[in-house]
A = this chain, B = another copy of it.
């Protein structure tokens, strides 16, 4: 069973999170929702709520914090402080960063997220970024390649990448997309790359897209 991490933060766009997570689960992908706290928040992890307050107020409970997932996955040495500096074994078949301005700001600025993006690509695994989530391509210092994003962050990206306005851009293992309105084709593209075209078709049909839908 393929695995996917779908990241979430306060301010994540809840449609982009939910459509991606749900579509992959429908295709048999084992999904984990992993939370990254806002570093400027005064709440400590010990009292952080077990949910993300998303961009339009939907509150979604997450499976684990990203940090706890990374800590749990490394081979524990004598010293916990050393441990968190070890290279992570938190590798999924797809590592996905949704948008929402505030959520994407938190996710893209997280050193752990940046490192895991690099490690996933080095390991030949897929990385998905949608909407303002594509800012992570910049912060993780990915090499110049084709990508897309929400238009609101185009100006931040176009000097560093070959900017496209296609709904979904596949650049090797980096899959990018634009906004809530492109999340279905984004999620279905991830599913076809993880599980094949037949699985995508099996999942897409009962969703009942209107006639003429261009994906």
Contact = CB atoms under 8 A, between A and B. Distances in A.
A31 interface: yes
Contact of A18 (B58, B204, B214): B58
Contacts of A206: 150-152, 179
Interface in A194-215: 204, 206-215
A6 to B, nearest CB: 10
Nearest to A208: B179
Interface string A150-181: 11100000000000000100000000001111
A115 interface: no
A101 to B, nearest CB: 11
A22 B54 CA distance: 10
Contact of A213 (B25, B31, B214): B214
Nearest to A18: B18
Interface string A14-53: 1100110111011000010100000000000000000100
Contact of A179 (B151, B179, B180, B207): B207
B25 A57 contact: yes
Nearest to A214: B212
Nearest to A187: B15
